[in-house]
Chain A
C-alpha cells in the first residue's frame, strides 16, 4: 500500500504531475472536468490517509460528517424566512465547530504518550475554514449550503495539511469559473514558478538550515552554554538565526507548493508569505508572515473581540481594548501551537511587542520631529524587527526548554 505525505518526497510530486495532466489539458481548452477533479482529489486524500495513517483517515471522515451537519444546520437556521439570528445559537455553533480541535489539542495535556484518536493531519486548518464559514453565515454573507461545494472547499487537497487558509466565498468564485485560456496560461506559469521556488526553499535552503546546520549548532550551544548563566553563549545566537531561517524556508516552501498546485488547478489560493523579514515593524511583520493565519486571527478573533468590547461598553479606553485584543489573539495562537510554556511565552511576547509598537507609533505621531525618516532609520527598523522576530522564534523553537530543563 502506498502512503504519501503531502510534498514530502519526489514520488508525491511525480504522482501529482500525472494526476494534474488531464486538468491542465482541459483548462487549456477552457474546460473544467469537475468529476475528474473530484476523483483526483479523492485519490490523493486516500494516498495521504491510507495504510499506517488509516486511523487518521477514519477520524477525517467522522470529522467531515460532523462539520457538514453542523454547517448545514447553521446555514439552514440563518436562512429561515423569519430571519432568526440568536447570538446563543451562533456561539453554540462556533463552540461545536471547534470542539473536535480543542479535544485533539488538549489530549496531550492528559496523555502525552498517545495523540488523540480524533486527530488527523490538517484538523486545525479545516477547523479554521469551518469557523470562518459560520462567522460569515452569521454576518449574512453566506446564504446557501451546497454540500458538494462545501466538501470541495473543505477537503481541497493541495492545502489540506497546513493551509494556506482560504475563504469559502473566494474559493467558490474560482471554482465556479473557468479561466480564459490566456488567464489560465498566466496561472499555470505562476503555479510552476511557485512550485520551483518551493523546491529551492524547502528542499535546498530549508534542508541546509534545518538538517545540516541546526543540529550541529544546537549541539555546540548545549556544550558551550553548559557552565554559563541561563546556558547563554554566542552559539545560542547561531541557533536563533539557523532556526529562524529553517522555519521560514521550510514553511514558505511548503506554502508555495500548496499555492502553486492550486494555481495549476485554476484556484487562486491566497499566498502565505510576502517577504516577512523585510518588515519595518511587528505589525507589518504579521501582515507578511503566515498571512492567511494571521488574517484569520485578525478577522475572526481580534476584530470580533474588539467589536464585542465596544458594543457592550466593557472597557472605555479604545487603547485598552486593542491591547487586550492583542493579548487574547496571541495567547490563543500560542495555546493553539501546543500547551507548552514556550508556545505560550511566544504568544505573550508577540502581544507585548504589538502593544509596545502601538504605544511607540502613538508617541511618534505626537512628536513628529523626534526621528528623521531616512534610509538609515528605515534599514535600522527592518534590522530591529528582524531580530525581535528571530528572538521570538528562538522561544518558539523549544530549544530553550532543552537548554534549561533538558538535562534533568
Chain B
C-alpha cells in the first residue's frame, strides 16, 4: 500500500528515534562505571556537571581511592603548588580531595549535593571551606543557584523527604528559587514537603520511576563527558614541590612563589588577577565595601541544612574559615568588625551544636602571601590549612560524634540575630 509506505517514510525514523531515546533514558539500565582515571579527573575538575550529578561522586566515594569531599567555592580553583589536591598527591597521602564547589556555590547547593551522596558519605570525613562572602543579607542569588541547580538531586531529595525541620526548610527555600517551580509536578511535591505532607503515589511514581530514572541515566551517560581537565596545573604544581615534606622549607618556598607572582600591586594579589579583575575598576573599588555586612540573612539557615545533614550521616567535618586579604580590605573599606561579627556568629552556630573542629584563619589576614588574591587562599594559606588537614585525615573514617542539632537555627529570628547577642565562642589561640 502506497500510503502506508509513505507514512512509514515520514514517521519511521521519528518513531525509531523516539523508542531508542525512551529506552535509554527511562529504562533502569546501568551503564559501565567510569574508570578510575575519569573519576580522578572529575575529582579536580570543579565542573558543574560533577557537582550537579551523583554518579561520579558516588563512584569516587565508594572507590578504593579514599576520596574526601572538599566542599567550598571559588577558592578551590586556585591551584597553586600548595593546593590540597596537589599536596595530597605529591606526598602520597592516604586520601585524595574530591573537590566540590565553584564560583557561586553556597550552602543550599551543597546541601542538595551532599544529600544526593548520602549513602556513600555515611561515617566519612569532609572538609568545608566557608566563605564569609556567602553570608550577604539576601543569601544566595537565585540565578547563581539556578546555574548549579540539579534536577536529579531534587528528585533524590523528594524521594527521601520526611516531615522534619530540615526537609521542610529545604523545600521552602527551593520554592523561593525559580528552579523549584520549573516542573509543575516537582513544584507541587515541594509544596507538600514544605508543609510536611507526604507525596502522593502518582508523585512518587513520576519522581522516582520516570523523572528520577531518566535523570540518573543522563547523569551516567553525560556527566563524564564534559570534564574540565586540570592535570596541567597539577603537574606544574608537583614539579615545584620538593620530594620531602618539611614545613619550614615549604613555607619559604610558598613565600617565594607568592612574592614572585604579586609584584605588580600593593595588595599582594596575584598579578594576573590584579590586571584582569581589579586594575580596570580600581578607583571605583576604593571604599566600596564600607557597608558590607555578613551577619544576617537566610544563608545561616541554609548552612544549618548542611550541619543537620552532616549530623544525620554521622560525619566528622573540618570547617575552615578563611580570612580576607587585609591590604585589600583596607583599600575597599571592608570593616574588620564585619568579619569579626561573622566569625562570632558562625562559630556559635557550629560550636553550640557540637561542631568543634574549626580551622579559624580570620586572624591570619595580615600574613604575607597567605591569600592568592582578595578573598581566596593561596600559597602560604593553603600550606597553613594543610597543617590542620593532614592530621585530620590520617584516617578517613569518622569517629562517633556527639552533635546536638537545634531547630532554632532554621528560624527568621536566628537569621536576624546580631553577632553580639550570642556568646563569643571564638578561640583566639586556635
A227 at the interface (CB under 8 A from B): yes
- In this assembly, does B276 line the interface, its C-beta being within 8 Å of a C-beta of chain A? yes
Give the distance to chain A from B328, nearest Cβ to Cβ, in Å. 19
Q: Which residues between 125 and 144 of chain A lie within 8 Å of chain B, taking CB atoms? A: none
B280 touches which of A189, A196, A226 (Cβ 8 Å) = A226
Per the 8 Å Cβ criterion, residues 212-226 of A in contact with B are 223, 226
Closest A residue to B6 by beta carbon equals A185
Number of interface residues of A (CB under 8 A): 11
Residue numbers of B with Cβ under 8 A of A are 3, 6-7, 9-11, 14, 184, 276-277, 280-281
Chain A interfacial positions (CB closer than 8 Å to B): 2, 28, 181, 185, 188-189, 192, 196, 223, 226-227
Given contacts A28-B3, A223-B280, contact A2 B184 (CB under 8 A): yes
A236 to B10 Cα, complex, angstroms: 43
The DSSP consensus for interface residues of chain B is: helix
Question: Which residue of chain A has the shortest Cβ distance to B14 in the bound complex?
Answer: A192
Cβ–Cβ < 8 Å partners of B9 in chain A: 189
> Chain A residues with Cβ under 8 A from B3's Cβ?
28, 181, 185
CB closest residue in chain A, given B182: A9
Is the Cβ of B10 less than 8 Å from the Cβ of A227? no
Q: Are A188 and B10 in contact (CB under 8 A)?
A: yes
**A196 surroundings in chain B (CB, below 8 A):** 14
* Chain B residues with CB under 8 A of A2: 184
| Total inter-chain residue pairs, C-beta < 8 Å | 22
CB-nearest residue of chain A to B10: A189
State in angstroms the CA–CA spacing of A196 and B281 once bound together.
47
- A406 CA to B39 CA, complexed, in Å: 42
- Please, how many angstroms separate the alpha-carbon atoms of A401 and B242 in the complex? 53
Q: Which residues of B contact A223 (CB under 8 A)?
A: 276-277, 280
**Chain A residues within an 8 Å CB radius of B7:** 28, 185
Chain A: minimal CB distance from B306 (Å): 29
Nearest CB of chain A from residue B234's CB, rounded to whole Å? 25
> Complex formed: what's the CA distance from A360 to B206 in Å?
63
Which A residues are CB-close (under 8 A) to B184?
2
Q: How many angstroms between the C-alpha atoms of A181 and B3 in the bound complex?
A: 8
| Contact in complex: A227, B14 (CB < 8 Å) | no
User: Are B280 and A227 in contact, CB atoms less than 8 angstroms apart?
Assistant: yes
Please determine whether B10 and A192 come into contact, CB atoms closer than 8 angstroms.
yes
22 contacts between A and B (CB under 8 A): A2-B184, A28-B3, A28-B7, A181-B3, A185-B3, A185-B6, A185-B7, A185-B10, A188-B10, A189-B6, A189-B9, A189-B10, A192-B10, A192-B11, A192-B14, A196-B14, A223-B276, A223-B277, A223-B280, A226-B280, A226-B281, A227-B280
The complex places the Cα of A405 from the Cα of B54 at a distance, in Å, of: 43
Given contact pairs A196-B14, A223-B276, A223-B277, a sample of 5 additional A-B residue pairs in the complex whose CB atoms are under 8 Å apart: A2-B184, A181-B3, A188-B10, A189-B6, A226-B281
Instruction: Tell me, in angstroms, the Cα distance from A298 to B295 when the chains sit together.
Output: 61
